[in-house]
Amino acid sequence: MAFDVTLEMENTTATITLNGALDASTAPKFKEEIEKVPTGKVKTLVLMMEDLEYMASAGLRVLIYTKQKMGAHTDIYVVKPQEMVLETLVKTGFDQSVIVVDNPPKIEKV
């Protein structure tokens, strides 16, 4: 299954769109994009997951890394995860570390 990830930055919001299957072979790509997000400046990180069809342990690992890298002062939104992905987040308790929503939050004006 193919995987694609894009990063957009606007003001203090970073938006990452994930597409396809996030597994051991594709997780490094996701991590690369996360590395580009500057900590401190970014207050909101939005993960668009509507088209993410599968997430393995390696994907969860990058999410945990993301949470720890961004720190407590960055809100992480998970937008519209598919059922399998949401289930995985819930069963592993990671849903409590992020904000799961149906629509992305409004981007803050500077």
Is-contact 76 47, C-beta < 8 A? yes
| 49 forms part of the interface with another protein (CB under 8 A) | no
Q: Which residues pair with 40 in a beta bridge?
A: none
CB of residue 82 vs another protein: minimum separation in angstroms?
A: 15
Near another protein in 81-100, by CB under 8 A: 87-88, 90-94, 96-97
Q: Which is nearer to another protein, 58 or 99 (CB)?
A: 58
CB of residue 67 vs another protein: minimum separation in angstroms?
A: 6
Judged by DSSP in three states, 65 sits in helix
Instruction: Give the type of residue at 14.
Output: A
Calpha distance 97→25 (Å, rounded):
25
Q: Which is nearer to another protein, 94 or 107 (CB)?
A: 94
| 24 forms part of the interface with another protein (CB under 8 A) | yes
Per-position b or e across 64-100, b if 16+ CB within 10 A of its CB? eebbeebeeebebbbbbbeeebbebbeeeebbeebeb
Q: Which is nearer to another protein, 91 or 109 (CB)?
A: 91
Q: Which residues bind another protein (CB under 8 A)?
A: 24-25, 27, 56-58, 60-61, 64-65, 67-68, 87-88, 90-94, 96-97
